[in-house]
Every structure is written in C-alpha cells, then in structure tokens.
C-alpha cells in the first residue's frame, strides 16, 4: 500500500497501518472483530473500511482459515543489503538409503532444487529481502528464532499466507561485545508456517545463518570468521551443519491442506521409518537439480599453525528428540565438542552484574562435552577441538518422545587432521 489511506476500499491489499492519532487515542478497547465499532464479520470480510478482519469460531477455523493474500505489499520497504528469491517445488527425491519420497521444499531463482532448501546467510545489521513465490501455495516463510515484525514473521495467524508473491524484510539486531542482551549471530532455520506440522515434515525448511557484525576490538584472522561479535574464531573452510531429520512415509502421501478441515489425517501420529543426517560442509554443498544434501563425513581441524577450530552447527529438523554421542577410535567418550551457543544466543558469563558478560570459555569455563541432547527445532553451535589427528565417531540417535526408546541411529566419522 503506497497511499497510506484507509478509504480506498481495496480489500486485497492487506492490513492498514493505524495512524499515530488513532493509536494514541484511548477509545474503546478493541474487540475480537478489530476496532470495537465495526460489526462482527465473517472471516476475510471487509468491514466497510477496507480493513480485513477475521473471527474464528473453532480451533479448526483458526487453523484452516488464515488470510490468504496474493500479493501483499512489504510495508516500510528499505533498500536491501542482501536479497534472495525462493520458489517452492514438489518432487520425488532419492535419499542415501535408496528410498524415494515425495518432498516439498524451496528452490532458488535459477531452479536449484535441493532438500533441505538453500542456505540463507546474512550479517547482523543488514537488511534482508527474501522474495517468495510459492506457486503451489499458499505457503509462508517463517524465520524461526528471529523476531521480525508480524507481517514479516511468516506466521499466517498473525499476518497472512501467500498465494502469489511477497518480499519478507528483516534486519537482525547487532551484537555488542560483553552484552548478553543483544545480538543475533548464530544458527537458525526457516520453514513454511502453513499447515506447519505437515509442510515442515514434507521438507519445507532450510538453514539460516546470521553472521556477526565486525567489531574493531575483535579483528578476524584470514580464513576465519567469528561465531558472534566477541566470540571465538572458526575456520571457514571446514564449517559444517548437521541436520538430523526423520521421515514418516505415510505423511508424504498427504495433500497440501490435509487435516485443515477438521478431518483426522493422523498428524498427531508421527511414526518415522527413515532416519537421515542432512547437511555437510557449507563450502562444499553440491549443486545441481533435485538432490538431497546428505551428510556422509565431517572434518575437524587440530588447532595450530594458524588454523582455527571447526564450527559444527546442529539443527534438529524433525519431531523427535536427538542425542549426539562422540567417541574416539577405542569407543570411549571423546569430549571434543565445545558448546558455544544455543538457538542463536551465545553462552556468556553473567554471574557478576554490571560487568561485561564474556563468552564462558574466555571466562574460564568452557563447556566441553561428548554428548548433546536436543529437541525439535533446537540449534546448537559446537566448536570441535580434537587434541590430535585421528578419527572420531559421531552418533546421532532418535528417541521416541514419550518412552525415550531409541528408534533410529546414524553415525558419521569425524576425521581430525
Ligand atoms: Cu507450506
């Protein structure tokens, strides 16, 4: 919407922005229909003032009757620092166990169809534009863990679903050295938020990484990057992401809107039969059409001679709890993983109020481990610090979320050199 007016009556242009006068006047409290003065309307109705509003009579209505807009406009559009274009594809893809499954995911502008979706990478303080053209819509893109304003958060319940095209706009907050309360750098993911349980399982997600802003007090060595503004440096060449994903083939027979009309299609029963480790070294993601990016091996730097440690980003992209165990060649637990952040938040020492909250390793308490337990959608950033060259085994297990019984297991070798 460019004219800013509320009287155009163009019901397809999305929500209006209240003027400062309107928001500052303490009139009647808003009701579920929106303004307190307009009559209750049917979902999607235009109350006469060009403003779309919804009313949900049941849970099913709430889930199924999201506002679906063809071409919502990006409000307060700013020049982009970086921009990406995403389309949606549906396709049978072959996995590393030779099974083929129907997958839906995001493809790049030039037709790269890969699962998971393309890596989106931005730096703190940059304005990102992500233009989405779902074509098989409606779909959305939710930026999981970031907190854009509601229009750009990609949650249909608080904004709209997209039938045509929309450009999401957001700007990750910059970090400050020693400040535990700001900064965004870390590992995230994006996923569709339409019929979310199904669409995420179908493959509509991809990795999202926010890099820290450069700070003059924290220079960066050649070939390295910092994990967060005053965080440790890591080696760009071996940086990798590990994405445990499990798959229930029954779900992959369902349609776009399965379950949204109140019918029971069993989305409360996730019974995976396949267990996959997706991802790999970010610098070596295979290109080409229609393939699964599967993780078969990892490398880890032994520090020295100017080499920085390897950063392993971990993303649980399925509905079961995962457990990682790292062992050495004799099978003994190997505490070579240093946990430096979780869900895009750095671990800092906040024990003394009023003093800089340093990264915990710098404060003398590095969190070294051989095991990591993490649930759906959680992300952890691990620095791998093998003490000497050799081989390690990283085992991922999937656990039943009620009984805790291990239902799937995969392993990869970490070669330390
Ligand atoms: Cu979707």
Give me the domains of the chain, ranges plus CATH numbers: 82-216+223-259+271-350+358-416 (2.60.40.420)
Q: How far is the CA of 194 from the centre of ligand 1 (A)?
A: 5
Q: Residue 155 gets which letter from DSSP?
A: -
Percent of the chain residues topping a pLDDT of 90: 75
Tokens representing 21 are 């006068």
- Residue 117: name the closest of 91, 139, 147, 86 by CA: 86
Q: Mean pLDDT across the stretch 329-352? A: 97
Predicted model pTM: 0.85
> Ligand 1 is a single-atom ion; what residues have CB below 5 A from it?
139, 192, 194, 199, 204
Q: How far is the CA of 144 from the centre of ligand 1 (A)?
A: 14
What is the full DSSP assignment across 321-369? -EEEEEE-TTS-B---EEEEEETTEE-B--SSTTS---BTTTTT---EE
Q: How far is the CA of 87 from the centre of ligand 1 (A)?
A: 11
Q: How far is the CA of 21 from the centre of ligand 1 (A)?
A: 37
Q: Output 208 or 58, whichever has higher pLDDT.
A: 208
Q: Taking 90 as the threshold, does the pLDDT of residue 349 lie above it?
A: yes
Q: Mean pLDDT across the stretch 252-271? A: 93
Q: How far is the CA of 88 from the centre of ligand 1 (A)?
A: 9
CB 371 within 8 A of CB 323: yes
Q: How far is the CA of 140 from the centre of ligand 1 (A)?
A: 6
In this structure, what is the dihedral angle of CA atoms 142, 79, 209, 415, given to the nearest 10 degrees?
A: 140
Q: Which helix (H) or strand (E) holds 62?
A: helix 59-64
Q: How far is the CA of 152 from the centre of ligand 1 (A)?
A: 16
Q: How far is the CA of 116 from the centre of ligand 1 (A)?
A: 14
Q: How far is the CA of 377 from the centre of ligand 1 (A)?
A: 17
Give the per-residue pLDDT at 136. 77
Q: Taking 50 as the threshold, does the pLDDT of residue 20 lie above it?
A: no
Q: How far is the CA of 202 from the centre of ligand 1 (A)?
A: 9
Q: How far is the CA of 31 from the centre of ligand 1 (A)?
A: 30
Q: How far is the CA of 273 from the centre of ligand 1 (A)?
A: 23
Sequence-ordered list of residues with C-beta below 8 angstroms from that of 232, at least 6 positions apart, any chain:
226, 308, 309, 340, 359, 361, 383
- Report residue 373 CA to chain centroid gap: 19
- Neighbour-count burial of 190, counting CB atoms closer than 10 A to its CB (0-12 exposed, 13-18 middle, 19+ buried): buried
**pLDDT class for 69, splitting at 50, 70, 90?**
confident
- Neighbour-count burial of 136, counting CB atoms closer than 10 A to its CB (0-12 exposed, 13-18 middle, 19+ buried): exposed
Q: Mean pLDDT across the stretch 59-80? A: 81
């Amino acid at each position: 919407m460019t004219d800013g007016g509320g009287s155009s009556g163009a019901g397809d242009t999305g929500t209006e922005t209240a003027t400062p006068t309107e928001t500052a006047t303490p009139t009647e409290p808003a009701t579920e229909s929106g303004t307190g003065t307009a009559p209750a309307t049917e979902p999607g109705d235009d109350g006469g003032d060009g403003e779309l509003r919804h009313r949900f009579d049941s849970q099913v209505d709430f889930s199924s009757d999201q506002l679906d807009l063809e071409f919502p406009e990006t409000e307060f559009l700013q020049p982009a620092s970086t921009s990406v274009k995403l389309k949606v594809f549906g396709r049978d893809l072959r996995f590393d166990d030779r099974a083929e499954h129907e997958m839906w995911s995001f493809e790049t502008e030039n037709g790269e169809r890969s699962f998971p979706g393309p890596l989106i990478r931005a730096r703190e303080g940059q304005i990102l534009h992500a233009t989405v053209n779902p074509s098989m819509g409606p779909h959305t893109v939710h930026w999981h863990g970031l907190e854009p304003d509601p229009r750009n958060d990609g949650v249909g319940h608080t904004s709209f679903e997209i039938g045509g095209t929309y450009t999401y706009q957001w700007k990750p907050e910059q970090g400050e050295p020693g400040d535990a309360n700001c900064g965004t750098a870390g590992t995230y993911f994006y996923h569709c938020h339409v019929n979310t349980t199904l669409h995420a399982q179908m493959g509509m997600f991809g990795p999202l990484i926010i890099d820290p802003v450069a700070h003059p007090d924290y220079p960066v060595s050649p070939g390295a990057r910092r994990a967060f503004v005053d965080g440790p440096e890591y080696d760009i060449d071996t940086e990798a992401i590990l994405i445990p994903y499990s798959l229930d083939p029954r779900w992959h027979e369902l349609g776009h809107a399965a379950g949204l009309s109140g019918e029971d299609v069993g989305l409360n029963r996730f019974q995976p039969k396949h267990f996959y480790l997706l991802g790999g070294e970010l610098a070596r993601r295979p290109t080409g059409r229609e393939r699964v990016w599967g993780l078969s091996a990892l490398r880890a730097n032994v520090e020295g001679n100017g080499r920085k440690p390897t950063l392993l980003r971990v993303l649980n992209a399925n509905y079961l709890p995962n457990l990682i165990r790292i062992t050495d060649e004799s099978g003994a637990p190997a505490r070579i993983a240093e946990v430096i952040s979780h869900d895009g938040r750095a671990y800092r020492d906040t024990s003394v109020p009023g003093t800089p909250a340093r990264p915990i390793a710098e404060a003398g308490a590095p969190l070294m481990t051989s095991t990591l337990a993490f649930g759906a959608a959680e992300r952890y950033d691990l620095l791998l610090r093998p003490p000497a060259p050799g081989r390690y085994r990283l085992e991922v297990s999937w656990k039943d979320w009620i009984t805790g019984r291990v239902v799937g297991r995969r392993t990869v070798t970490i070669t330390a050199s």
